């Protein structure tokens, strides 16, 4: 906390960044929001999703304000609270649109597309659940077991099947596309074999 402020320094910084973001031109705010939602996407992907063309000058007001820099084709936020302030300071419908637009331009990258689709998912959607399950499978094949677990958990949350949601996606892992070598029991499947 700052002396005499009664509020944490991070809260004051977030307010400062939010104020700076509000003073940016609308197109620049949109780009910064899309970059905040994108997390790992390059500048070209962010600009394509935002539908603003290819003129890097649209980023200039945010760069001049010291909020971001463009480095090696990527957006670098000057502080994590700039990203957080841009994302959480935007209305929900604009965040949803950003993820929807990012998913649309990421057709060639099913894993990242699935996570943007999941960010848009309100309630249950089988297509999103299936895309996340495929993402989990890819992550598991690469040894990314934590990422696979996260994708399966979110898949279960998006699944219209109540049993999937209740068991955290475990039943989805025992679906016909794979056959357990060891039996599924008490909520977890252990070894897998492709059908």
With a cut of 60, say whether residue 41 has pLDDT above it.
yes
Residue identified by tokens 């620049």 is: 28
More reliable by pLDDT, 73 or 168? 73
Percentage above 90 pLDDT, the chain: 49
Report the pLDDT value the prediction gives residue 15, as an integer from 0 to 100: 79
pLDDT digits 0-9 by tens, 78-94: 999 999 999 988 999 99
Confidence of residue 24 (pLDDT cuts 50, 70, 90): very high
What residues does 77 pair with on adjacent strands?
Answer: 68
Confidence of residue 184 (pLDDT cuts 50, 70, 90): very low
**What integer best gives the mean pLDDT of the chain?**
82
The model carries a pTM of 0.73
Helices (H), the chain: 9-22, 26-38, 43-50, 60-64, 80-89, 92-105, 110-120, 126-141, 145-158, 162-166, 170-173
Local structure of 90: helix, strand or coil: coil
b/e map 168-184, b = 16+ CB within 10 Å: bbbbbbbeeeeeeeeee
Of the listed ranges 19-33, 127-141, 179-193, the one predicted with least confidence: 179-193
Report the pLDDT value the prediction gives residue 186, as an integer from 0 to 100: 42
- pLDDT, mean of residues 32-55: 94
Percentage above 70 pLDDT, the chain: 78
With a cut of 80, say whether residue 163 has pLDDT above it.
no
CA distance 162 to 177: 20
pLDDT digits 0-9 by tens, 61-83: 999 999 999 999 999 999 999 99
């Amino acid at each position: 906390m700052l002396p005499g402020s009664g509020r944490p320094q991070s809260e004051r910084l977030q307010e400062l960044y939010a104020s700076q973001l509000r003073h940016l031109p609308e197109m620049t705010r949109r780009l910064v929001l899309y970059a905040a939602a994108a997390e790992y996407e390059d500048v070209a992907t962010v600009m394509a999703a935002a539908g603003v063309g290819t003129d890097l000058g649209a980023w200039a007001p945010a760069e001049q304000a010291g909020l971001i820099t463009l480095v090696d084709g990527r957006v670098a936020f000057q502080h994590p609270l700039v990203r957080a302030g841009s994302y959480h300071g935007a209305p929900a419908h604009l965040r949803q649109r950003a993820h929807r637009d990012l998913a649309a331009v990421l057709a060639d990258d099913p894993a990242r597309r699935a996570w943007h689709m999941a960010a848009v998912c309100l309630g249950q959607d089988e297509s999103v659940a299936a895309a996340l399950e495929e993402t989990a499978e890819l992550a598991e094949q690469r040894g990314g077991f934590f990422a696979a677990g996260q994708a399966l958990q979110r898949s279960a949350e998006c699944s219209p099947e109540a049993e999937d949601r209740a068991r955290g996606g475990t039943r989805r892992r025992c679906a016909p596309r794979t056959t357990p070598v060891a039996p599924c029991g008490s909520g977890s499947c252990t070894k897998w074999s492709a059908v």
